[in-house]
Structure 1
């Protein structure tokens, strides 16, 4: 009994640590005198919310929006989320504070969902805590909070994987089927279609691993899928109807998808993935706003250790293989239409050709990597092996050569030097720390690096003291003046 109670307490501490990371990292969204105002938020998200709230206060469903481009579908605009229950928070707090609270709530859902998923998959409480903290601090997550329609679907991913696992492994009863149906419905209604597609894709790979591992649950999964589609049907029908009248019904061309602002640029790939603790504009450093990954050097190394450790474990291979495939495919697809792998997905995966920004696949890459970082912390003692240490050191040297002499850049000598020092620190920790403390120290290094980088995250750079309202506010006027002056 004492050991069970101690185990439970450790997991509660993991949840508390994750919650604190969310509260601190999202302070720009809930601080009383702060308003996170993005260009899209001021011109689309805020006004869309006002249209929704005005209609709902009159007990009617807003089918059309007469204030954008003459008149456009409103209910059929899936990203608006008219039928997504959490969006009703704006009814109580207004669009600006309401959006902020929605972001904070979904970040808590993402972080705590990751902790719960890590526990279900057999990680230690330390590994679960690190995974939960990391998933809310990485740059790809922080950047998506600016466009809250995108953070909403991502927040459901850990819970969706958790519900899938519960549904397949349930020995009796149908409660888990109902839970999965509710979580899947929330995912389908949650926001931006491209991010929903990404979440569904990861869930599909995960489900294949589940079925291969347990060889059961197909009937329960089918029932849950049917229930979720039925509950989301009004929104899905409205979205499909709007799409049938859209100019993009046949998908986007390769020319559209090759826009340098919407792909992971090879030359700046390391900058986008590693990030920098030197401050400055993350978008400029990464090559584009959408390309901000910022997983940290320590995070990438420990995550790679976690991937290897999970794939080597026969008990973890069923889930680690699908999530490792998510990382590989996500990175390749983030490069845009320059590889056969992208072309195959473009031709075969329904809806893949509608996503305007290929580099948004980094968002699910970051979530999968966060889980593997937790695994890597648990497996950190493997670094005590000379063979593994030498392999890792060789990989770091090779990466340094490619960045120093090849087509990939570090952005500056200072950034490159810091990357090398951080990588060296990861290698030194197993040598200088006591074996039982190696995981804790490596987890600390990962979190500190990400915490320092999060200080210059996009939300903290676009805060204003005025909110977006129904009419043109000082915030919108300021945004417009910045846009006209070229951002100076």
Structure 2
């Protein structure tokens, strides 16, 4: 009987916590009960690809120090947002990535609720208050809305555990929880969390007047914080060194540091529950109308530090709309490293959860008519703001918020009426809690985290990725990188099939998101190539990456008004960069859409590549399958009048003959036609411009085709300078091969020196610079300019992995080997086993000097600071164990509630 009684008592004690956990799981029911998945925004373009690459490395049993697949090569582990060393992430590596992400969301939501429940109980909240605080935090709008930023979501889940450990004066536990939060990989959340803790755990009463009071109150935090930094040093030391070379080095410009500030006009949409616009998650921070009623009741609590935390969060979230915030950025320069002031809403969510717990503890009997009236008026004011915000376009959205959905308005009105009735009749807390939970559940099920797409949105393989994978394997280590220049307005060819499959299952909004996800995969944009192991010159980030040098180089070929600091060349490039930039960046494969292509008089014209006929190289096409044709048709743009001689078309036939035919300007908006007599099998085309035509304005070729007028058969041509481009795939998008691409490792024998970055970039921007035979080396100021000379270099790969590149090279004379991976101090190189200095080459990459002859060269990468970080972590681990043992030797610390 004693055992039964004990179990019964344990169940009774655990029931409130289980109730809170059940409510949180219920808030995520659509996510958990469906085989569908999250597939939008950062989840699709950032986290899935990184998690896929990290899981692949884990299953292979290797540490992925270097990432060769994004941004011309970047550190992998040193990027904190990857969260590679966060234990739950690695434990989920054997599951499909979408499922792993869903389980991580569930685990961390429950973990957050458990931590908040424990914190509230330690702070002497009663059972109802602790349960309400746990639900308000883990099922509230701000926390759930961040689930799409999984690293931020994970880090927020540790905040209540850190607070609980500090309040209980357990520095070792605080250190462990703080280290786990750092390993989640969201530095901004770490800073916000410690700001909340400093307010919550500040001394109270007379203790504030004494230095000893501050020392006593904050000493567990200081010790725990130091331990957290030490235990996570193996992650943040390499990350800190990487940050010095990143776009955030020295802080962001003020306008970027203030981006995504919460406008006061948006407070209604932010603080009231409703079906949020997909791009509005940064501003979502509701706790429910009945939750606001609990705050009104809890404000009479003696200790109101929760209100200070919540108020500070709201005030700082205003960012640019708060005149104090820019001053704060000046006083604390490290804050300039972060964007999105709206993320200070994390403090609001944390403080408000504690306040709601206090309100449920005190009950509606303590509310009073004045506070009830203030709650009602405040709620009505927020509703008015929400309705007035309809035409506003928040940051990150391409259109206005639009009108509030009737269901959301109904939810607000019902909650307001219910709150008034509750205050009048004052029923049990269970009735109040039930109505509030219903309000939260209704809002949570409308959040983007619960708006899912079919598994095919991620798993369906698209042909371009498969084609590029085969092309990469065919070419080997020299395959080069991908550049996508795509307008996503194109329609997939299987649109009708998808509509027939999912048109009746998905709402129009959800089907549109599915369609966008499909086009993302088709076009291989942002970080998606990495998920398939395909290297791209592009990428998408917003943390310590991309490198500052990468952005500086991009400024030379991306219009300033279009340049984005987080990458996304596919969105910013108005067209293909010049061939020399493609060479410089190691681009071999071009992915484009088909929106500019045309059918004219039954003939298809590929307009993906345009060429200046008066450029340095003649415009060519071929080789291509022989076609018996009777004429060449060209799409020409020029200001020259019809009939003007443009030049000569040289046609190569399958018999080895060469035809030279005059090309004259035709009528505007009609193809230029070049005819010959008998049908010929044409295998190559070259256009030689006439000097007068070039002198008088020139002309461009934007497409062409060989046509057999007898049958209507045709061969679409890709016309480019020197025949540099060849079409390798044509589907919903097209893939071109840039045949003048430079390999990942190549040799040159002519060097230009530069004193620093600015001079190096100027040399690269010179139209006469040819990256195939010249390299710009920074710091070689004493080297005399070398005249051009013949240079024969042969390279045979011996080993090619992300972190190790080894090859046998044969140089005709002394020269330089250029490795097309971003310069990083973690790279080391040897020639025939002897260490050689790695120099910064062509502004972004790296090179080593090699004497003439046959040599074995090797590059190897390990993050800078990795050894130091490991040492600090080992020392901190020893210190933590020693502190834990010392405290146990002294006996248990008496329980002290935070007053």
2:53 to 51, 54, 59: 51
Could you tell me which residue of structure 2 aligns to residue 291 of structure 1? Answer: 283
1:443 to 433, 437, 445: 433
- Bigger helix share: 1
Could you tell me which residue of structure 1 aligns to residue 79 of structure 2? Answer: 77
Could you tell me which residue of structure 2 aligns to residue 241 of structure 1? Answer: 241
User: Equivalences for 1:303-452 in 2 at 5 Å?
Assistant: 303-306=295-298, 308-310=299-301, 313=302, 317=303, 320-321=304-305, 323-349=306-332, 351-383=334-366, 388-397=368-377, 400=380, 404=384, 409=389, 411-412=403-404, 419-434=412-427, 437=428, 439-452=429-442
Summarize the Cα distance change of 1:309–1:401 in structure 2 as closer, same or farther, 3 Å threshold.
Answer: closer
Summarize the Cα distance change of 1:418–1:57 in structure 2 as closer, same or farther, 3 Å threshold.
Answer: closer
Structure 1: which 5+ runs fail to align? 168-175
| 8 Å contact from structure 1 (residues 17, 133) kept in 2 | no
| 8 Å contact from structure 2 (residues 289, 379) kept in 1 | no
29-38 vs 236-245, which moves further: 29-38
2:447 to 443, 451, 457: 457
The Cα shift of 1:421 comes to 4.7
Summarize the Cα distance change of 1:350–1:448 in structure 2 as closer, same or farther, 3 Å threshold.
Answer: farther
Structure 2: which 5+ runs fail to align? 391-402, 466-497, 499-512, 524-570, 572-899
TM-score between both structures, scaled by the size of structure 2: 0.47
| 8 Å contact from structure 1 (residues 65, 71) kept in 2 | yes
Q: Deviations over 1:18-61 (max 9, x none)?
A: 22123222334444622222221222211112222233334332
The Cα shift of 1:331 comes to 1.0
Could you tell me which residue of structure 2 aligns to residue 481 of structure 1? Answer: 519
In structure 1, how many angstroms separate the alpha carbons of the residues matched to 2:419 and 2:385? 23
Q: Secondary structure at the match of 1:93?
A: coil
Q: Deviations over 1:304-331 (max 9, x none)?
A: 321x122xx2xxx2xx32x322211211
Summarize the Cα distance change of 1:77–1:380 in structure 2 as closer, same or farther, 3 Å threshold.
Answer: same
The Cα shift of 1:235 comes to 0.6
In structure 2, how many angstroms separate the alpha carbons of the residues matched to 1:164 and 1:265? 34
In structure 1, how many angstroms separate the alpha carbons of the residues matched to 2:195 and 2:54? 29
Q: Secondary structure at the match of 1:351?
A: helix
Could you tell me which residue of structure 1 aligns to residue 271 of structure 2? Answer: 273
Find the structure with the greater CA-based Rg.
Answer: 2
Q: Which has the higher contact order (CA 8 A, sep 6+)?
A: 1
Q: Deviations over 1:214-247 (max 9, x none)?
A: 8626555443333222211111101101100012
Q: Secondary structure at the match of 1:145?
A: helix
Summarize the Cα distance change of 1:453–1:238 in structure 2 as closer, same or farther, 3 Å threshold.
Answer: same
2:36 to 34, 37, 40: 34
45-54 vs 119-128, which moves further: 45-54
Summarize the Cα distance change of 1:69–1:477 in structure 2 as closer, same or farther, 3 Å threshold.
Answer: farther
| 8 Å contact from structure 1 (residues 30, 97) kept in 2 | no
In structure 1, how many angstroms separate the alpha carbons of the residues matched to 2:9 and 2:423? 26
Q: Deviations over 1:380-412 (max 9, x none)?
A: 24446xxx2134314533663686499955855
| 8 Å contact from structure 1 (residues 138, 450) kept in 2 | yes
> Could you say what the CA RMSD is over the residues aligned between the two structures, in angstroms?
3.4
Could you tell me which residue of structure 1 aligns to residue 600 of structure 2? Answer: none
80-89 vs 47-56, which moves further: 47-56
User: Aligned pair count?
Assistant: 454
Q: Deviations over 1:337-361 (max 9, x none)?
A: 2223212332233532222222122
In structure 1, how many angstroms separate the alpha carbons of the residues matched to 2:387 and 2:145? 26
The Cα shift of 1:432 comes to 1.7
1:183 to 177, 187, 190: 177
